[in-house]
Amino acid sequence: MKDNAELFRTLDGLVAGWCDRRCLKALRAMLPGYPLTSPLTDGWGALLTALQDVRASAGKEMTDEERRTVDECIRVVDQAVHRR
């Protein structure tokens, strides 16, 4: 992903798809961290935790493509949090 706008569009798409399919485990895990409540490191940290929780608890609800997308989002957000 080249910028935050693309990351947020991707996350919006994931959440919309999960809403349409009623993937409640994924939504429950994601919503504490997204949308960002703070543009500072604590907000990005909450988003990282939420994405990791989605991967850990909702894997069976997601498609293979969604799992790959969540993994990519985790990498991007981890880099933002840890300034890599």
Confidence of residue 5 (pLDDT cuts 50, 70, 90): very high
| 62 Rama sector, left if φ>0, alpha if ψ -120 to 50, beta otherwise | beta
- What are 17-28's pLDDT values in tens digits? 999 999 999 999
Tokens 């543009």 -> residue = 39
Please give the pLDDT value at position 84. Answer: 64
Q: Break the chain into its structural domains and give their ranges.
A: 4-82
Task: Take residue 68 and report the two structure tokens written for it.
Answer: 């790959």
Confidence class for position 4, pLDDT limits 50, 70, 90: very high
pLDDT digits (tens, 9 = 90+) for 17-59: 999 999 999 999 999 999 998 999 999 999 999 999 999 999 9
